[in-house]
Structure 1
């Protein structure tokens, strides 16, 4: 349970959720703003993948250190 008490875990999880929120918001963009949807989608996917990999690596490192 010490891994879940770590504050950086919550920050990484919040970044992943924010990435998914950005990805969802690209669906809701109206006409003129739809030109930016590709850029927003690329940024949100990068955020999701990057922070997911960091979170997985941190979890594996804490499990393997025992």
Structure 2
């Protein structure tokens, strides 16, 4: 019975890693941080836009 459980556990681990490899993910590697999809989602873009508006003397309307 113990040999059967060990075989099932090893088979489950092999299937798990096999599926992850087929999906293109490497075990132990993290995914890169998601990038902004549009300029208004990018904090750096918004900061730069605000700085440019201040330099031109515009106010919020």
The TM-score with structure 1 as length reference comes to: 0.35
Higher RCO (CA < 8 A, seq sep 6+): 1
More helix by share: 1
The structure with more radius of gyration = 2
The TM-score with structure 2 as length reference comes to: 0.38
